[in-house]
Amino acid sequence: MASKVIKGGTVVTADLTYRADVKIEGDVIVEIGPNLSGDEVLDATGCYVMPGGIDPHTHLEMPFMGTYSTDDFESGTRAGLAGGTTMVVDFALPNPEQSLLEAIQRWDNKSTRANCDYSFHMAITWWGEQVFNEMETVVREKGINTFKHFMAYKGALMVDDDEMFASFSRCAELGALPLVHAENGDVVAQLQAKLMAEGNNGPEAHAYSRPAEVEGEATNRAIMIADMAGVPVYIVHTSCEQSHEAIRRAKQNGIRCYGEPLIQHLTLDESEYQSGDWDHSARRVMSPPFRNKKHQDSLWAGLQAGTLQVVATDHCAFTTDQKRYGVGDFTKIPNGTGGLEDRMPMLWTYGVGTGRLTMNEFVAVTSTNIAKILNIYPKKGAVLVGADADLVVWDPAKEKTISATSQQSAIDYNVFEGKPVKGLPRYTLTRGHVAIMDGEIRTQEGHGKFVAREPFTAVNRALSQWKEVMAPRKVQRAGIPASGV
Ligand code: URP
Ligand code: ZN
Ligand code: ZN
Ligand code: ZN
């Protein structure tokens, strides 16, 4: 079998930094050490050899708000690879009353075009006996161990507390992990109606309708409901101090929960919605909205302190024409922004490049932590013999200015337009295939494979055990008095 050697670089993992060559045969890493040779040499002089990024939060070709997000599994994964990301996890969304298994079938059909490996989270968008039963098939037969719950998007994707508690309890039984979009959807709906009635119909009103309090309240509620159900919980797109505070406090109290800030919330702020250009502001409409510096500082601190574990994108890209569905009514602007190509360079530049993160922390929050949470470590998220050769050879000296004109994403703008970045992939390898070769795109449509994930992580098992120890037990009494009348 033909081999490749990544030569002359420094391996950087979540816990180690050392000089070594990395040898690959087929899909996997076969040797790590000094002076390796192989059929093809990839020169990594001056570069860091890191696990490829894993983006656990994407919406490719997602049916949402009357349209479909424009980046599909082909353009989305191509964008990811160009930026050093080698795996995405997308959300399979059943329509109301639709079978979970049918939803997976639809996502299977779309994902055949993926350029890199992928997996799915299953969304719980309605509740009933069928959903309860199918959750078991999803976990045992479909290789999906995560279930997403939307506390927002009232009248569409939103689930109530009773549905959430039932689903979380089912996750506990199946050894799965619930994920939550935490915003109080009832309050958002009322604020939206009030703002519209007052004539506040521009994209800035999207942010006014989703203050940090709606996120903080919902995050706390989700964590408490998960704790009562005896299951860990993962809060997606944690954007504010209120939400981070709920996660931090819960962790201090021994509750198992995870928080996922997005690169957009870390680096873009609420002033984007005050632009005099309607398109500029509408292109940045996403939920939760961008926030102020106080919240951004909180998110960076969370990554440093380890109270927040993962940096994702929530890549859900709509064109300017699609955003214009909401002219005159901000509630109709399709929610979502892109970021797949920019997450790693932006986090490196504004995290490692400023001293807010170490290189090892960078690897942890872009790859290794989520691989462990999703139970795919060390197949993914590692530079180890036997691991998949999903690797990025990172050139810390390579610079560019982000621009829509040179991006892989299919949309007509970029929310990071004009941002300078320093630190970019020299090579990105997806299971041994060099998809990015010094700026040249060599992706192979359909190369990506589905990554199945087993339930019952160590955290699930420990928590179930603890809940069993602490379960309510009936008191055995020698005699019971006759009941009073
Ligand atoms: O605005 C967003 N985040 N759009 C994608 C769907 C979601 O809520 O994650
Ligand atoms: Zn209900
Ligand atoms: Zn969301
Ligand atoms: Zn999302």
Burial 321-339 (b: 16+ CB within 10 A, else e): ebbbbbeeebbebbbbbbb
Pick the residue whose CA is nearest to atom 4 on ligand 1.
Answer: 336
pLDDT of 270 reads 98
Say which amino acid occupies 346: M
Cβ 69 under 6 angstroms from ligand 1: no
Nearest CA to ligand 1 atom 5: 336
Which residue has 């009322």 as its token pair?
190
pLDDT of residue 441 exceeding 80, the answer is yes
Fold (topology level) of 49-443+447-463: TIM Barrel (3.20.20)
Look at ligand 1, atom 7, and give the residue with the nearest C-alpha: 287
Q: Token pair for residue 250?
A: 């819960």
Q: Which residues of 159-194 are buried (b: 16+ CB within 10 A; e: fewer)?
A: beeebbebbbbbbbbbbbbbbbbbbbbebbbebbee
Give every CB contact of residue 450 below 8 A, 6+ residues apart in sequence. Answer: 108, 111, 117, 118, 119, 120, 143
Question: Hey, which of 260, 313, 335, 340 would you mutate to test ligand 1's pocket, going by the most ligand atoms within 8 Å of its Cβ?
Answer: 335
363, 14 Cβ separation under 8 angstroms? yes
Q: What is the mean pLDDT of the chain?
A: 97
Nearest ligand 1 atom, CA 236? 9
Question: How many C-beta atoms surround the C-beta of residue 153 within 10 A?
Answer: 19
**Average pLDDT of 334-346?**
98
CA distances (Å), 262 to each of 36, 132, 134, 267, 340, in order?
38, 31, 31, 9, 11
Q: If pLDDT is split at 50, 70 and 90, which confidence band does 1 have?
A: confident
Amino acid at site 28: V
Say yes or no: CB of residue 339 within 6 Å of ligand 1: no
Q: Is 336 in the pocket of ligand 1 (CB under 6 A)?
A: yes
ipTM value for the complex: 0.95
Distance CA 1, CA 24 (A): 10
Helix/strand/coil (H, E, C) string of 181-226?
Answer: ECCCHHHHHHHHHHHHHCCCCCCHHHHHCCCHHHHHHHHHHHHHHH
How confident is the model over 131-174, as pLDDT tens digits? 999 999 999 999 999 999 999 999 999 999 999 999 999 999 99
Q: What is the number of the ligand 1 atom nearest to the C-alpha of 286? A: 1
pLDDT of amino acid 8 = 98
Distance 58 CA to ligand 4 centre (A): 6
Q: How many angstroms is it from 445 CA to the middle of ligand 1?
A: 26
pLDDT cut 90: percent of the chain above it: 98
Would you say residue 407 has pLDDT above 80?
yes
Q: What is the pLDDT of residue 484?
A: 84
58 Cβ closer than 6 Å to some ligand 1 atom: no
* Domain boundary assignment for the chain: 49-443+447-463
- At 203-253, the pLDDT tens digits run 999 999 999 999 999 999 999 999 999 999 999 999 999 999 999 999 999
Output the CA 128–ligand 1 centroid distance in Å: 24
Q: Quickly count: other Cβ atoms within 10 Å of residue 200's Cβ.
A: 14
Give the pLDDT confidence score for residue 459 in this predicted structure: 96
Q: Is the pLDDT of residue 260 over 80?
A: yes
CA of 307 to the centre of ligand 1 (A): 22
In percent, the amount of the chain with pLDDT more than 70 equals 100
Ligand 1 centre to CA of 237 (Å) is 9
Tokens of 119: 């997996």
Angle (CA) 90-95-96 rounded to 5° is 135
Whether this model's pTM surpasses 0.90: yes
pLDDT digits (tens, 9 = 90+) for 162-194: 999 999 999 999 999 999 999 999 999 999 999
Burial of 479 (0-12, 13-18, 19+ CB in 10 A): exposed
17-19 sheet: strands from edge to edge: 17-19, 10-12, 48-51, 391-401, 420-430, 433-437, 440-441
Closest ligand 1 atom, residue 316 Cα: 5
Is there a contact between 124 and 150 (Cβ–Cβ < 8 Å)?
A: no
Residue 266 predicted with pLDDT over 90: yes
Ligand 3 centre distance from Cα of residue 57 (Å): 9
Q: What are phi and psi of 317, to 5 degrees?
A: -100, 125
Q: Is the CB of 86 under 6 A from ligand 1?
A: no
What is the Cα–Cα distance from 73 to 447, expressed in whole angstroms? 11
Is residue 448 within 6 Å of ligand 1 at its C-beta?
A: no
Helical ranges in 116-180 per DSSP H: 129-142, 161-174
Distance 465 CA to ligand 4 centre (A): 31
Q: Is the pLDDT of residue 485 over 80?
A: no
Mean pLDDT of 432-439: 96
Closest CA to 341 of 51, 55, 14, 49: 55
